[in-house]
Amino acid sequence: MTIAVFPGSFDPLTNGHLDLIARASRMFDQLVIAVGQNTSKQGVFSPAERVAFIEASVATLPNVSVQIESGLTVAFMREIHATVLVRGLRNSVDFEYEQGIAGMNRALDANIDTVCLMADPQYQFVSSSLLREVARFGGDLTKLVPPVVAHALTARLESEG
């Protein structure tokens, strides 16, 4: 049985993430979404909130589970016996970034393989920072994020004033 991990901050979860999750779930026996904290970014939602959004959005995918992780992704992968790391690529900048991370992960654990999936063209421009900006100014997020996330993001940013 092949266990794959799709790590990320998912702050917020996007339809692009969901597309990658659905595609990866068809490729591997088990897919674990690892919700982490990006230490270089200021988060909008807590890890528990992000887990809840993802669980609600992937409920129809029986081989997908969601866990909070902290620390090195390769250590988390060893704990759950995962051998494949799934990443999404939107553009050449993502490729350069992910290439370095894949090399480091391979150096830390030679049993970890990284699989990169190209983002669907309709989501290649979507980023967390752009979504927050659109939400902050009242833009329509319905084609970009799941409904539960659109509502929560709008409410959170309105409350921050």
Q: What backbone torsions phi and psi does residue 85 show, to the nearest 5 degrees?
A: -105, 125
Q: Is 41 a catalytic residue?
A: yes
Distance CA 134, CA 83 (A): 37
Catalytic residue (one of 41, 81, 136, 143):
41
Helices marked H in the chain? 15-27, 47-57, 73-80, 92-108, 128-136, 147-160
Is there a contact between 43 and 152 (Cβ–Cβ < 8 Å)?
no
Q: Is 90 a catalytic residue?
A: yes
Is 17 annotated as a binding-site member?
yes
* 138 burial via Cβ count (<10 Å: 0-12, 13-18, 19+): exposed
Is 41 annotated as a binding-site member?
yes
Is 125 annotated as a binding-site member?
yes
Is 126 annotated as a binding-site member?
yes
Is 76 annotated as a binding-site member?
no
Distance CA 83, CA 66 (A): 17
Q: Is 151 a catalytic residue?
A: no
Is 67 annotated as a binding-site member?
no
Catalytic residue (one of 25, 50, 57, 128):
128
Is 55 annotated as a binding-site member?
no
Look at residues 126, 56, 53 and name the one whose alpha carbon lies nearest to residue 88: 126
Catalytic residue (one of 23, 78, 90, 156):
90
Q: Is 106 a catalytic residue?
A: no
Catalytic residue (one of 17, 25, 50, 57):
17
Is 46 annotated as a binding-site member?
no
Is 127 annotated as a binding-site member?
yes
Please enumerate, by residue number, every residue annotated as part of a binding site for substrate. 9, 41, 73, 87
- Catalytic sites, residue numbers: 17, 41, 90, 128
Please enumerate, by residue number, every residue annotated as part of a binding site. 9-10, 17, 41, 73, 87-90, 98, 123-129
Please enumerate, by residue number, every residue annotated as part of a binding site for ATP. 9-10, 17, 88-90, 98, 123-129
